[in-house]
Amino acid sequence: MTASTGQPHTRKPEPLEFDKPRVSIATPEYRYDMQGEMPEAERVERAMKSFVKDFGRTAAIYMESCIHCGMCAEACHFYEVTKDPKYTPIWKLEPFKQAYKREYGPFAVIYRALNLKQKVTVERLQEWQQLIYDSCTVCGRCSLMCPMGIDIAALVSQARHGMYAAGLIPHELWSVTERARLEGSPLGATPKVFKDRLEWLSDDHEVEIPLDEPDADVLCAMSSIEIMKYPDSVVATARIMNHLGVSWTFRLDGYEATNFGLLSGNAAAQKLLTMKIVDAAVACGAKTVILPECGHAYTALRWMGANMYGQPLPFRVMHIAEFLAEQVREGKLRLKKVAKSATFHDPCQVVRRGGAIEAPREVLKALGVELHEMYPTKGTNWCCGGGGGVVANHRADELRYKTFKLKMEQIEATGAELPVTTCANCRQTFDDGQAHFKWDRKMHSLLELVADNLIEDES
């Protein structure tokens, strides 16, 4: 077993790779990574403290309810493709369940006095790093299976807080989170880079891209994957907003919706990144913040944003697909018909966990495509395998490719011509999988499909 021991504030983030099918950080394969120098006992102490810090009623109810029926395994793509029992969703939380019973549950005194549950050791946490980060995309499919109704995915997110505090997260996730915290973007889309890109895109594509407007009804944000790898999505956003005649802007003080704080378990960074967008929206008086095609960005602002802010957000938060669907519904967005068949890959955080289940389908309907749904679809669709920071984590590649086969089979079975999704992270997972398997199917962006089919001479 090897470990990399880095010091968070002295070690520099690794260089980025832009020429690969996905933007990522080059790191050798480690069994587990460690950040910072601290005694082992302190790591465990920190992990457990942080884990129980936010331990409210909901998490405790979940911890008390598991009957070890093992059914959640059947829902998890990592188990499905490997049949390895260690990928059973609830097993990924074993040390934290152990810690809960011993340190926090109603009978903790008895467990401790009789030593019925062992103290969690640093070795155990190190061993579990792979389960909590490499083999969980926090997709929440298991949460739909559990007969007790336990939201296992939510517990994994909570366990990541503990792992972050202990300095026990995959180094790439730590590194991109640090980059986001220090430079404003996990993948190098710093304010300067973003500004330069906007100028370049505006010239190249002859599209007006408002930046830093002091007043705007709508604030748009992008994900760093789009800015660095899919800049057409930035152009598509601008085209659609201009076409609709919306008063909108990008702002350099809050343009980056990617939130690696959420994925890595660094709650402070999560808040910092969320607050940038909140403050930017407040500064320009935006009534609506439109989030890009990014799943976890939606969770971070739409469902967790107000809780980070400490009060209800003074604006509406919408995923771009929800915004497009609303415009279609109101008759403001008319689209040319795409005479093709399509299938829709449901991004877990937008659809299953986010609740925007029908919006992307309404937009596809407006595009006139013949929709061939996958099986399973919507809430129970299989995850692409790259969510929850997994695609950013090189050592998880081999496992991720195995899960990607599920997606390929599902898509092939629909016979549809166009695979479409509405998450740039899913998209780069597909691009990477496509390259790996030399697959002949290319994932498309719903947003770009809409921008390419606007009826320009309208109104």
Partner 1 sequence: MDLLEFARGPALQWSVSIFIVGVLWRLLGVFLLRSKKDLSEPRNPAAWKGLRLIALRSWPRREFLEGTAFGEVMGYAFHVGFLVSLFFFAPHVLFFADVARGLSGTDLQGLIGFRWPTLPNGIITLLSAISVAALLAVLVHRLVNPVKRLISNFDDYFSWFVTFAPLVTGMAAFAHLAGWPYERLLAYHLLSVELLLVWFPFGKLMHAFTIFAARGTTGMIFERRGASL
CB of 219 to ligand SF4, least distance (A): 31
Residue 252 in the binding site for partner 1 (CB under 8 A): no
CA 126 to mean position of chain CA atoms: 23
CB of 88 to ligand SF4, least distance (A): 7
Among 143, 237, 393, 410, binds partner 1 (CB under 8 A): 143
Instruction: Give Cβ neighbours of residue 31 (< 8 Å, ≥ 6 apart).
Output: 1, 2, 3, 130, 395
How far apart are the C-alpha atoms of 438 and 403, rounded to whole Å? 16
How far apart are the C-alpha atoms of 337 and 363, rounded to whole Å? 11
How far apart are the C-alpha atoms of 305 and 271, rounded to whole Å? 8
Residue 170 in the binding site for partner 1 (CB under 8 A): no
Residue 222 in the binding site for partner 1 (CB under 8 A): no
C-beta of 82 vs 453, nearer to ligand SF4: 82
Residue 60 in the binding site for partner 1 (CB under 8 A): yes
Residue 138 in the binding site for partner 1 (CB under 8 A): no
C-beta of 31 vs 53, nearer to partner 1: 53
Q: Which does 305 bind (CB under 5 to 8 A by kind): partner 1, ligand SF4, none?
A: partner 1
C-beta of 334 vs 378, nearer to partner 1: 378
Residue 353 in the binding site for partner 1 (CB under 8 A): yes
Q: Which does 138 bind (CB under 5 to 8 A by kind): partner 1, ligand SF4, none?
A: ligand SF4
Give the number of C-alpha atoms closer than 13 A to the C-alpha of residue 49, restricted to the C-beta side. Answer: 8
Choose among 379, 295, 344: nearest CA to 75: 379
Residue 304 in the binding site for partner 1 (CB under 8 A): yes
How far apart are the C-alpha atoms of 60 and 126, rounded to whole Å? 24
CB of 59 to partner 1, least distance (A): 9
CB of 222 to ligand SF4, least distance (A): 26
Q: Retrieve residue 312's tokens.
A: 């209800």
C-beta of 153 vs 451, nearer to ligand SF4: 153
Choose among 127, 123, 143, 147: nearest CA to 135: 127
CB of 155 to ligand SF4, least distance (A): 9
C-beta of 71 vs 272, nearer to ligand SF4: 71
Under a CB-based contact definition with an 8 Å cutoff, are residues 31 and 43 in contact? no
Torsion of CA 187, 189, 444, 139, to 10 degrees: 50
Residue 311 in the binding site for partner 1 (CB under 8 A): yes
Residue 186, φ and ψ in degrees, nearest 5: -70, -30
Among 12, 15, 39, 68, binds partner 1 (CB under 8 A): 68
Under a CB-based contact definition with an 8 Å cutoff, are residues 189 and 227 in contact? yes
Residue 74 in the binding site for partner 1 (CB under 8 A): yes
CB of 201 to partner 1, least distance (A): 32
Q: Which does 76 bind (CB under 5 to 8 A by kind): partner 1, ligand SF4, none?
A: ligand SF4
C-beta of 4 vs 380, nearer to ligand SF4: 380
Q: Which does 149 bind (CB under 5 to 8 A by kind): partner 1, ligand SF4, none?
A: partner 1
Residue 413 in the binding site for partner 1 (CB under 8 A): no
Q: Which does 316 bind (CB under 5 to 8 A by kind): ligand SF4, partner 1, none?
A: partner 1
C-beta of 146 vs 225, nearer to ligand SF4: 146
C-beta of 43 vs 117, nearer to ligand SF4: 117
x/- binding map, residues 313-342, to partner 1, per CB under 8 A?
A: x--xx-------------------------
Residues that bind ligand SF4 in the complex, under the rule CB under 6 A? 66-72, 75-76, 78, 89-90, 92, 136-142, 145-148, 150, 152-153, 156, 383
CB of 185 to partner 1, least distance (A): 25
Residue 82 in the binding site for partner 1 (CB under 8 A): no
Residue 199 in the binding site for partner 1 (CB under 8 A): no
* Contacting positions for partner 1 (CB under 8 A): 54-58, 60-62, 64-71, 73-75, 79, 83, 85-86, 88, 90-91, 94, 105-107, 110, 143-151, 302-307, 309-313, 316-317, 351-357, 375-376, 378-380
